[in-house]
Amino acid sequence: MVEILVSFKDKVICDHCGELVFRRNLKVENLDKYDLTSKKSYIESIIKIDDVSYEVAENWASHGMFELCKERTRCCPDCGNQLKTWRAKLCLSCGATFAPLLSSNS
């Protein structure tokens, strides 16, 4: 069995949850070919059309079309109010500025 290592450049940060996910290049000509009736059928169609492993297809389905990943939230370090996004650098309530979080590991 050959183990394939995935480099950081093959992954990007999910805007929804902040986890590292496999990078994806969608082809416009394939958009109508995916079976969107369920997550399982969507994964199977990704594997067939894009010729990727189950792990990659499941990752794309969870963080893409179906967005089953948990939305990440963050509170202002000064006033404690919830920020608009987990990557925010400015609190709209109190005006405080701070460094943004860069990934789920931060």
**Domain residue spans in the chain?**
8-63, 73-106
Structure tokens at 3: 């183990």
Taking only the tens place, the pLDDT of each residue in 5-35 is 444 467 888 877 778 888 877 788 888 898 8
Helix (H, G, I), strand (E, B) or coil at 89: coil
**DSSP notation for 18-46:** --EEE-----GGGGGGS--SSHHHHHHHH
Taking only the tens place, the pLDDT of each residue in 31-77 is 889 888 888 998 999 999 988 899 988 888 888 766 677 778 888 98
| Alpha-carbon gap, residue 13 to 9, rounded angstroms | 11
Largest CA distance in the chain: 55
